[in-house]
Each structure stands twice: as structure tokens, then as C-alpha cells.
Amino acid sequence: MICKSVISRILCIIFLSATFNVFAQFPPPVGHPGTKAIYKDSSIIIGWAKSCQVERGFIDISDTNKTFGGSNKASYGNIYMTADTADNFVLSLGDGGSATLEFASPLANGPGSDFAVFENSFDDNFLELAFVEVSSDGSHFVRFPAISLTPESPQTSTFDSTDATKINNFAGKYRGLYGTPFDLEDLKDSVGIDLNHIIMIRVVDVVGCIQDEYATRDSQGHKVNDPWPTPFNTGGFDLDAIAVLHFATEGVEERNENFQIYLFPNPVSDNITFANKSNSKISFLISDIYGKTIFSDSFTGKASIDLSSQPSGIYIASFLFKDGKSFNKKIIKN
């Protein structure tokens, strides 16, 4: 005969096993023990995304006739906002919108996390989330197995909070200037992808609506519940930047060439200097955030450009190398 104490222990084990997924906790917000957040100036960052393509989503996927500022889709920011360092200047994706970013060299599956995605949340609780996908050929993308243990109801309203310890492998888990890391090892069993030759990363807004018609689901089939609706030009996930932690070794020569361009000071008030350590001739142009070219030239070694007459704001410096490769870097004009 089994004593009551043994039966109680067995029942307790069964109960704990059955409820583990409900109470499972993931890494906490910035500043808490066990956080995985990566600050924008971390020494483990060795590069940043250099170019971006975007497909904007609606400001309200449930009412595509709704507009803000004359548009029914998110319109804040532009693709140049995502180039180079995280700085809280962002590209808003809207409901279900996506951004696909490329890099100076392929990324690789190194020890630990391999890249980090930055959003611009103003605190640790107002979190707008996105799925993250990678590709090694530019056409086939594989999504990270994201998990949301946020209750599926009630709807997280427009400015409500999300508990970071209940979400995993979603971009947007951490506040502005702190990136959410991703480890390519999580995709080791995926088909049709070379984890040591990742050339594109795609960020896809989760929508966040819990209505069956519009809901998006995590890798376990849970509806992803985050602030919704966000019927503004800034709606949806706000992409700041993607930092690289591991490049593929095959891209070292290309990467070294690109990273021999230095800009200083940045932010700048008057004269900004471009320095080319390799002493090869490089063409460049500087444009405003609307794509209008304000200066273009070429240089070898070093060049100083006077920006004192330009209004304060964000500018994009685009550099073109002799082999046809190029990359962009943001300039902040005070």
C-alpha cells in the first residue's frame, strides 16, 4: 500500500510538470540579474547592418481605411535610420510590416549570441515586439523559435505593459539602446540555410492583436499579445539597428576594407573628417533623410567636409569602394 505522503509527492511532481510552461520565466529587463541585454557601446559588437529594404504595414490592420497624416500605413523614419549604430532614430514598420537588412560581410554562428536587434522602447515595460528571420541565400528565410507566455487575453492596449520575463527570441524585449541578442545555434536543425553564411536578417512586426483574424502566433502556437492598436505613423515595431557579434571568416578582407573608414567628430557641429586608413581612393556622397544629395566627392587618406551651414538633423554618408561595394553611415548634425 502506498502511503499518502508518497502519493502527495507524485501528484505535486505531476502538477509542477503540467504547469511549468505557464510559469516559465525568461531573462529579465535591463539592470536585473540574468539580463541578456546588450548595450549599444558594448565591446562585443564588431559591426552594424549597412542597408535596408522595408515593407510598411498598416497603422491598423483591422481597418485599412484608417489614416494618420494622410497615410494608412506606418510612415515614420526611413531606411537610412537603420544604418550603423543604434541611436534611437528609427524606422516604424506598422502592423505586420517588415524590414530586411544586409551587412558588409556574412554573419556566422559563433560562440554564444551572434547579433542583436535594437528597438526604441522608452522603458522596460512598453514593449513592441517583432519576429526575427535569417537567410543565407536572400530568398529562403528561417524564423527564430520565439515564445510568448503573455496571457492571450485581455488585449494589451495601446500603451499597456508587457512583462519581459514572459517573452523569448522576440526583437523588442529590451528598452532603447539595449539590443536583444539572437543565437544562430537556435536554428541548427533548420533546413535550407547555412548558419555560417547569413547575408540577410528580416524583422517582422508581430501585429499584437488577439482577434483570430489578425493574430500572429509564436513557435508554440500562442497568440502574441502586445500593444494594439497603434494607429499612428509610428505604429508597430520601431527598428533602430542590428549589431553584429560574429562575422564569417570568409568576409574578413571585405570587412577590414569597409571598417577602415572613420568619421569624427560625430555628432558634429561644423567640420566632419573622413579618414581612410587603407589609402585607397573612395567616392562618397552625403544626403539628407529625404535622399537629397548635399555634397559628393572622393578622397584618399583624409577629407574634411564643412557642414556648418546645414540644418540640425540626421544625414547619411554613403561610401563607394573601387570593387563596387558600398556602405552607409549616419551623421548627426548638432
Q: Which three cell numbers stand for residue 300?
A: 584618399
Q: Which residues pair with 39 in a beta bridge?
A: 178
Q: What share of the chain is helix, strand, coil (3-state, %, to 5)?
A: 10, 35, 55
Number of CB atoms found within 10 A of residue 165's CB: 17
Taking the C-alpha atoms of residue 277 and residue 223, their distance in angstroms, rounded to an integer, is 51
* Cβ 57 vs Cβ 238: under 8 Å: no
3-state secondary structure of 157: coil
Is beta strand 313-320 parallel, antiparallel or unpaired with respect to 47-48?
A: unpaired
288, exposed or middle or buried, with CB in 10 Å at 0-12, 13-18, 19+?
middle
Residue 259's pLDDT is what? 52
Domain spans in the chain, listed from the N-terminal domain onward: 24-257, 260-333
Residue 184's pLDDT is what? 98
User: What is the layout of strands, in order, in the sheet containing 271-276?
Assistant: 261-264, 271-276, 302-306
Return per-residue pLDDT of the chain as tens, 334 residues.
444 454 455 444 444 444 434 455 999 999 999 999 999 999 999 889 988 999 999 999 999 999 999 999 999 998 989 988 899 999 999 999 999 999 988 999 999 999 999 999 999 999 999 999 999 999 999 999 999 999 999 999 999 999 999 999 999 999 999 999 999 999 999 999 999 999 999 999 999 999 999 999 999 999 999 999 999 999 999 999 999 999 986 444 444 444 567 788 888 999 999 887 677 788 999 988 777 899 999 998 889 999 999 999 888 888 887 777 777 788 888 9
For residue 258, what is the enclosing H or E element?
A: helix 252-258
Nearest 5°: the CA angle 276, 280, 285 is 65
Q: Which three cell numbers stand for residue 40?
A: 549599444
What's the whole-model pTM score? 0.79
Q: Which three cell numbers stand for residue 95?
A: 502592423
Name which of 74, 95, 94 is nearest 209 in CA terms: 95
* Cβ 144 vs Cβ 169: under 8 Å: yes
Taking the C-alpha atoms of residue 292 and residue 290, their distance in angstroms, rounded to an integer, is 6
Residue 240's pLDDT is what? 97
Assigned CATH class of 260-333: mainly beta
Residue 253's pLDDT is what? 40
Residue 6's pLDDT is what? 47
Residue 182's pLDDT is what? 98
Residue 328's pLDDT is what? 79
Residue 277's pLDDT is what? 67
Q: Which three cell numbers stand for residue 304?
A: 574634411
Within its chain, how far is the Cα of 242 from the centroid? Answer: 5
